[in-house]
C-alpha cells in the first residue's frame, strides 16, 4: 500500500469515527457552547460572504475534512487543472474554463499554442458583433434594427446563458429581448416564435459540432420560419453561429465571418464563459460580460491561492461531501431568495450532476461510496409554500444553500426586508425547529405532536452585496469549483459525460424508425412496443 493510499485510508477511518459522534450533535447546542461560532465558521471571498456555521461540524471536523482532502491530492489536482494538464482523463483533455475568464495580460501557452491569445481574439470578435447589434448598426433584411435575439442550443449551450441573462435582467439594454430555445418539443419553438418578427430577429445557433440533434432540428425550423418572409440570401443577416464546423455552418446559410469558435477543452457545462456567452454579451453589453468574467476570475484566484481551511469552494465541497458520505443525504437544495436567480438551480443541476454523477473512479474501478447528490430548488419565498414542509417535518434531512442579496436592484425596500426576513427565518427554523412544549396555549395535547419540527437540519447561507455581473460570475465559479472538489474526494472524472452520449446514440437510431424510414427489431420488448404503438396511432 502506497503512503498516499495509507493516508487516505487512515483519514477515512478517522472521519467515520468522528461522524458517529457528529450525528448526535444538536446545532443549537453547538451555538450555545461557542459564542464565536458564527465568526469561526464564515468566510468572505470575491464579493461573497458564506455562513456555514449551521452545520454538524466543529474545529476537529474541519481539520479531519481538510486532512482527507490533502490525502486525496486536492491541491495537486487543483493545480493540475489550472496548468492545463489532461484532468479529463478519459478524453485526454485539459479543462481550461478558468482560462476563459483570465485577464488579457495573463499569457498561457500549452503544447506550443498561445491559448490566451486565442481566447482574447474571440472576446474581441464577440465585442464587435454585440456592439453592432446593440448600436443598431446590424440591420435585418428590411432595414429594421434587431429587437429580439434567440439563442438556440441545449445543455451548457442553453442553461448557462439563459441563467445569466435572467440573473442580469436589470442590465439588459432596453428594447432588446433575449430568448432561449433548447427543447426539441415543437411546443417550445411555437411559443418562442409566436410573438417575433423575422424582420427584427437574430438567431444564435450554438453547437460546437453543428450536429447536435435537438439544436439542429430547432435551427432548421427557425430557418423555415424565417424563409416564409425572407430569402435565402437574407439568412446571413439573421443567423450567426457559435461552432467549429465551418462547412456545416456555411451550408446552413450563415456567413462564416459571423461564426465564433470555442475549444474542445471547454466542457459544455463550463462554456458560458466562452463564445457561448454571445447572447449575454449582446443583452447586457461586453463591458458587463467582461465584469462577469472578472468576478469568476476573482473566485478562481481565491480557490487557487487560499489555504483549504479558508477556501470557500473547498469548504462548500467538503461539507456537501460530509453529508453525502456520513449522513445519508441524497439531495441538496439550492434556494435563491432573488427572483432573477430563478434559473440558477437548473444550471447547477448540470454543473453538479453531469460532472459527478459517475460510478467508477479515475482508474475505472467501481466507487465504494455514494457520489453526486440530486441538486434541486427554486426561488424563495415560493418554495416555502411548496416543498419546505418536507424540509421541516419530512423524514429525509436535506442540506440547503440559501442565497440572498443585501441590496436589491429595485427601491421597494419593505418588500426586500420581508424577503430577507423569510430567508433568515427559514434557516433558523430548520436549525432550531419547534418542540412539543413550545405549543401555544390554545393548541391541545392531541395536536401538539403534529406541530413538532425536529430541527437540527443543516444549511449554508450565501450573502451577496448586490447581484451584478461580477458577483454572478463569482457565484457561478464558486459552485463550479465546489463540484470539482467533490469529484477529487470521490476520485472521479468530473469532466466527461458518457451517460449523456449513450442516450444521444440510441435516439439517433430510433428517430428514423418513428419517421418510417427504417425498421428494427434490436430493441427490448418495451421500446419496440412503444415504437410500434406510436406508428400505428399515427396512421
| d(C-alpha 451, C-alpha 436), whole Å | 7
CB atoms within 10 A of CB 259: 20
Q: Which of 35, 231, 385, 537 is catalytic?
A: 385
| Cell output for 488 | 477529487
Main-chain phi, psi angles of 413, to 5 degrees = -65, -40
**Can you say how many angstroms the Cα of residue 346 is from the centroid of all Cα atoms in its chain?**
7
Q: 375-384 burial, b for 16+ CB within 10 Å, e for fewer?
A: bbbbbbbebb
Whether residue 384 has a cis bond before it, omega within 30° of 0? no
**Is residue 251 annotated as part of the catalytic site, yes or no?**
no
Residue pointed to by grid coordinates 463569482: 474
Q: Which of 214, 354, 480, 513 is catalytic?
A: 354
**Is residue 354 annotated as part of the catalytic site, yes or no?**
yes
| d(C-alpha 292, C-alpha 275), whole Å | 13
CA of 126: how far to CAs of 105, 107, 193, 230, 290, in Å?
Answer: 18, 20, 25, 26, 11
**Is residue 385 annotated as part of the catalytic site, yes or no?**
yes
Q: Where are the beta strands (DSSP E) in 422-527?
A: 459-464
Environment class of 457 (CB within 10 Å of its CB; exposed 0-12, middle 13-18, buried 19+): buried
**Can you say how many angstroms the Cα of residue 58 is from the centroid of all Cα atoms in its chain?**
29
Residue 141: strand, helix, or coil = coil
| d(C-alpha 355, C-alpha 365), whole Å | 17
Q: Are 202 and 240 in contact (CB under 8 A)?
A: yes
Sheet containing 400-405: which strands, arranged edge to edge? 42-45, 48-51, 459-464, 400-405, 331-337, 374-376
CB atoms within 10 A of CB 513: 18
Residue 184: strand, helix, or coil = coil
H or E element that contains 102: none
Q: Are 185 and 298 in contact (CB under 8 A)?
A: no
H or E element that contains 123: helix 115-135
| d(C-alpha 456, C-alpha 428), whole Å | 10
| Largest Cα span, the chain | 78
Strand-pair category, 42-45 with 48-51: antiparallel
The set of catalytic residues is 354, 385, 504
Amino acid at each position: 500500500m502506497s503512503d498516499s493510499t495509507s493516508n487516505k485510508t487512515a483519514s477515512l477511518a478517522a472521519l467515520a469515527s468522528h461522524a458517529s459522534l457528529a450525528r448526535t450533535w444538536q446545532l443549537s447546542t453547538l451555538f450555545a457552547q461557542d459564542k464565536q461560532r458564527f465568526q469561526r465558521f464564515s468566510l468572505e471571498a470575491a464579493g461573497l460572504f458564506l455562513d456555514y456555521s449551521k452545520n454538524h461540524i466543529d474545529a476537529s471536523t474541519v481539520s479531519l475534512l481538510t486532512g482527507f482532502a490533502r490525502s486525496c491530492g486536492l491541491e495537486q489536482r487543483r493545480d493540475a487543472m489550472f496548468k492545463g494538464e489532461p484532468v479529463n482523463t478519459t478524453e485526454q483533455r485539459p479543462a481550461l474554463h478558468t482560462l476563459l475568464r483570465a485577464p488579457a495580460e495573463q499569457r498561457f501557452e500549452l503544447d506550443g499554442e498561445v491559448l490566451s491569445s486565442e481566447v482574447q481574439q474571440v472576446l474581441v470578435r464577440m465585442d464587435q458583433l454585440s456592439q453592432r447589434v446593440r448600436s443598431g448598426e446590424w440591420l435585418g433584411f428590411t432595414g429594421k434594427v434587431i429587437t429580439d435575439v434567440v439563442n438556440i442550443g441545449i445543455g451548457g449551450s442553453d442553461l448557462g446563458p439563459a441563467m445569466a441573462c435572467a440573473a442580469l435582467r436589470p442590465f439588459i439594454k432596453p428594447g432588446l429581448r433575449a430568448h432561449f430555445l433548447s427543447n426539441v418539443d415543437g411546443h417550445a419553438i411555437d411559443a418562442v416564435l409566436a410573438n417575433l418578427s423575422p424582420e427584427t430577429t437574430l438567431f444564435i445557433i450554438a453547437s460546437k459540432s453543428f450536429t447536435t440533434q435537438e439544436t439542429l432540428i430547432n435551427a432548421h425550423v427557425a430557418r423555415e420560419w424565417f424563409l416564409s418572409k425572407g430569402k435565402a440570401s437574407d439568412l446571413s443577416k439573421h443567423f450567426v453561429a457559435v461552432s467549429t464546423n465551418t462547412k456545416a455552418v456555411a451550408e446552413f446559410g450563415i456567413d462564416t465571418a459571423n461564426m465564433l469558435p470555442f475549444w474542445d477543452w471547454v466542457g459544455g457545462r463550463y462554456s458560458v464563459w466562452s463564445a457561448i456567452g454571445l447572447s449575454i454579451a449582446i443583452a447586457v453589453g461586453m463591458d458587463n460580460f467582461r465584469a462577469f468574467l472578472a468576478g469568476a476570475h476573482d473566485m478562481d484566484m481565491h480557490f487557487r491561492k487560499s489555504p483549504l481551511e479558508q477556501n470557500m469552494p473547498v469548504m462548500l465541497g467538503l461539507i456537501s461531501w460530509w453529508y453525502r458520505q456520513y449522513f445519508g443525504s441524497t439531495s441538496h437544495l439550492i434556494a435563491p431568495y432573488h427572483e432573477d436567480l430563478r434559473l440558477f438551480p437548473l444550471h447547477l443541476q448540470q454543473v453538479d450532476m453531469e460532472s459527478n454523477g459517475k460510478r467508477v473512479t479515475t482508474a475505472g474501478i467501481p466507487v465504494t461510496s455514494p457520489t453526486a447528490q440530486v441538486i434541486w430548488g427554486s426561488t424563495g419565498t415560493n418554495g416555502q409554500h411548496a416543498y419546505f414542509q418536507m424540509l421541516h417535518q419530512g423524514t429525509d434531512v436535506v442540506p440547503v444553500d440559501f442565497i440572498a442579496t443585501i441590496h436589491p436592484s429595485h427601491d421597494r425596500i419593505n418588500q426586500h426586508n420581508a424577503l430577507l426576513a423569510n430567508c433568515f427565518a427559514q434557516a433558523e427554523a430548520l436549525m432550531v425547529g419547534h418542540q412539543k412544549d413550545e405549543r401555544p396555549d390554545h393548541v391541545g395535547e392531541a395536536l401538539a405532536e403534529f406541530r413538532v419540527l425536529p430541527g437540527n437540519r443543516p444549511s449554508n447561507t450565501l450573502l451577496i452585496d448586490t447581484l451584478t455581473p461580477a458577483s454572478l460570475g463569482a457565484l457561478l465559479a464558486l459552485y463550479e469549483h465546489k463540484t470539482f472538489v467533490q469529484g477529487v474526494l470521490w476520485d472521479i472524472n468530473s469532466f466527461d459525460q458518457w451517460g449523456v452520449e449513450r442516450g444521444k446514440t440510441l435516439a439517433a437510431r430510433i428517430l428514423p424508425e418513428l419517421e418510417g424510414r427504417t425498421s428494427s427489431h434490436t430493441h427490448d420488448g418495451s421500446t419496440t412496443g412503444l415504437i410500434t404503438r406510436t406508428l400505428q396511432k399515427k396512421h
